[in-house]
């Protein structure tokens, strides 16, 4: 069935929260790769993302109430694959992927300098939808930094085939 709704644009979502990890409070930043996302309102600007309920990023967003949607160029395919296949609780995905961390302007959350565009979002609602949470965020700040070919997830049995626009 996945072939019906492919290809889908790939984004990297960044998030941050103070978490209790191995009995110690730590400020954790994470990056998760997503292809399930969409705008849901123009006025006010609202954007929705879907993340698996058991994902570390889901816990961070629930705790902090903020996230950043980073629209990425197709050149970041390897970083997107890494961030989508590795758990962020015990590693720094910014360091591992060599993506540049920038602080957001309006929320306490990192964003990715290499992104083509970003949306800084405050969580306004969470919907449990089967094995995913749909996080709905009001866009507090946004920018289109540069133009470029975006990364898309294409149809694949493994789910990791990427493509781009012409």
Model confidence over 107-155: pLDDT tens digits? Answer: 999 999 999 999 999 999 999 999 999 999 999 999 999 999 999 887 6
Per-residue pLDDT, averaged over 25-29, amounts to 96
Q: Which fold has domain 2-164?
A: Pnp Oxidase; Chain A (2.30.110)
The predicted-structure confidence for 59-94, as pLDDT tens digits, reads as follows 999 999 999 999 999 999 999 999 999 999 989 999
139 Rama sector, left if φ>0, alpha if ψ -120 to 50, beta otherwise: beta
Flag whether the pTM goes above 0.85: yes
Domain extents in the chain: 2-164
Residue 61 CA to residue 54 CA, distance in Å, equals 12
Neighbours of 98 (CB within 10 A): 8
């Amino acid at each position: 069935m996945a072939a019906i709704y492919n290809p889908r644009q790939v984004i990297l979502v960044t998030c941050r929260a103070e978490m209790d990890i191995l009995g110690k409070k730590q400020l954790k930043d994470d990056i998760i790769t997503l292809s399930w996302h969409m705008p849901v309102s123009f006025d006010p600007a609202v954007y929705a993302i879907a993340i698996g309920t058991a994902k570390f990023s889901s816990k961070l967003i629930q705790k902090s109430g903020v996230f950043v949607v980073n629209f990425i160029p197709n050149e970041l395919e390897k970083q997107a694959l890494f961030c989508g296949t590795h758990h962020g609780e015990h590693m720094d995905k910014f360091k591992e992927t060599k993506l540049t961390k920038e602080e957001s302007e309006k929320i306490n959350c990192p964003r990715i300098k290499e992104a083509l565009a970003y949306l800084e979002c405050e969580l306004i609602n969470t919907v449990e939808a089967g094995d995913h949470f749909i996080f709905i965020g009001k866009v507090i700040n946004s920018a289109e930094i540069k133009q470029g070919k975006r990364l898309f997830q294409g149809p694949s049995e493994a789910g990791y085939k990427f493509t781009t626009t012409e």
